[in-house]
Amino acid sequence: MRDGVCLADLDGNQREAALALMREAMSAAGYQTARDVMRLNEHALEITGKPEEYGEWFYWVSIFGTPSPDRPWGWQIDGHHLNVNWFALGDHLVLTSIFMGSEPVLARFGKRRGTRVFAAEEEQGYALMRALSYEERQRATIVKNSPRNSSPPHSTTTGGSSPPGSAMRSCPPRAASVSSRCLRPMSAACARVMPNSAEPR
C-alpha cells in the first residue's frame, strides 16, 4: 500500500509537474538515474507480464505541507526500487533519504532495450574488492549467495555491537581511496546547489 497519488492516474501535464519536482531538486545525473529506474520498472513488466505490479508510472507522489518560501514543506516520490524525499525550510534544502535500485539493471530487449543503471557503481564496487587483500575481502563479504527477497544476516546491529564487514580504517590506503571514489556516483544524485541557498551540509 503506497501513499499519495499514483502517476499512472495522472494526465500528461500533471505527470510532468510531478517529474519536475525531481528534475529541479536533483542533479542531472541523479534525475536521469531515477527516470531510468522507472523505465526499467516498465521492462520488469515486459519480463513478468504483471501490470498490477510493474510499470513506468507505478510511482506515487505525496506533498507534505503547503509549498512556501519560509514554512516547512516537502514531497516524496515512492514506488518499486525508487524512493526520493525532499524537504525545505527557507533556504535549507534536504534531499534524503533516497533509495534507488533495479532488477534487472539492464534492459536487453523490448521497449527500453539498452537502458542501464548503476554501471559506474558496479565498476567502483569491483575496484574496491580488488583493492582489498584476500583476508580483508573475506571479512568484507557478508554473504556470497544472497537469497532472493531477504536481507543479509546481521544487516543491522543493536546494543552497540560492531557491524559486519571490514572497517575502512583497517584497510590499506589504496582501498580507502577507492572507497571514497565509490561514493562519487551516489553523490551525483544529491540536491542541486540552488542560487542563494544555504551551504551544503
pLDDT digits (tens, 9 = 90+) for 168-181: 666 667 666 766 66
pTM of the model: 0.79
Whether the predicted pLDDT of 135 surpasses 60: yes
Secondary structure, 3-state, 68-92: CCCCCEEEEEEECCEEEEEEEECCE
- What is the structure's pLDDT at 200? 44
| All cell numbers assigned to 152 | 543479509
Whether the predicted pLDDT of 83 surpasses 60: yes
**pLDDT digit string, tens, across residues 9-56:** 999 999 999 999 999 999 999 999 999 999 999 999 999 999 999 999
Question: How far from each other are the two terminal CA atoms of the chain, in whole angstroms?
Answer: 33
Whether the predicted pLDDT of 119 surpasses 80: yes
Count of C-beta atoms within a 10 Å radius of residue 87: 16
Whether the predicted pLDDT of 190 surpasses 80: no
Whether the predicted pLDDT of 93 surpasses 70: yes
